[in-house]
Amino acid sequence: MGKRGPMPGTGGRPRKDVVERLAEGNRGYKPIKIIPAPSTYEGMDIPEPSKYIKAKQKNGESLYAEEIYNNTWGWLVECKCDHLFVPAVVEEYAMSFARWIQCEEAISEYGFLAKHPTTGQVITSPYVSMSQSYMKQTTQQWSLIYEIVKANCTVNFDRATPYEDAMEILLKSRERRF
């Protein structure tokens, strides 16, 4: 049997962002609720990422997770939304993004095809499916981060987001190898 209609909060027109409501002068009935950033955050550094973000990989190379973490957290500070996040959310995003880049590097190095271990037949490389799964996870995590920023940001953020710099990171990884 069906659920008898859409779930509450899922139907209808999407909510406007805080920036749009402030620009229009809030023609609604409810006052705009802005979560102020604590003044204690002024002058603070980016929170130190966990040890697993900085860990060396089996092949001896470092992962891009720390760079992605710092870029993303810096963007959150620039948008004045860093007080809305715990570092673990950004760490999860950075780690899955870095693993996706690692899978893409493996695909570039080993190719799209692999040899089946028992039959010897040609199969799709396991790195391809791992890459797709990490990309899906990364996209979901970024959507979560971006929606929170978009809904609560009072600063107009026209600059490219860290997620849009993905191709640049991939191209830099190819330079590092040669």
Walking along the chain (178 residues) 10 residues at a time, the average pLDDT comes out as 64 74 69 63 70 84 90 88 90 95 91 90 92 95 90 70 66 58
Res 178: pLDDT: 43
Q: Which residues pair with 114 in a beta bridge?
A: 123
Looking at the domain assignment, is residue 44 inside a domain? no
CA 25/CA 176 separation, integer angstroms: 50
Res 142: pLDDT: 93
Looking at the domain assignment, is residue 126 inside a domain? yes
Looking at the domain assignment, is residue 37 inside a domain? no
Looking at the domain assignment, is residue 27 inside a domain? no
Retrieve residue 144's tokens. Answer: 């979560």
Measured in whole angstroms, the distance separating CA 145 from the mean position of its chain's CA atoms is 7
Retrieve residue 56's tokens. Answer: 């060396």
Q: Which residues pair with 62 in a beta bridge?
A: 56
Looking at the domain assignment, is residue 47 inside a domain? no
Tell me the residue range of the domain where 99 lies. Answer: 60-177
**DSSP H or E stretch at residue 52:** helix 51-54
CB contact set of 123 (below 8 Å; sequence gap of 6+): 113, 114, 115, 116
Q: How many domains does the chain have?
A: 1
Looking at the domain assignment, is residue 17 inside a domain? no
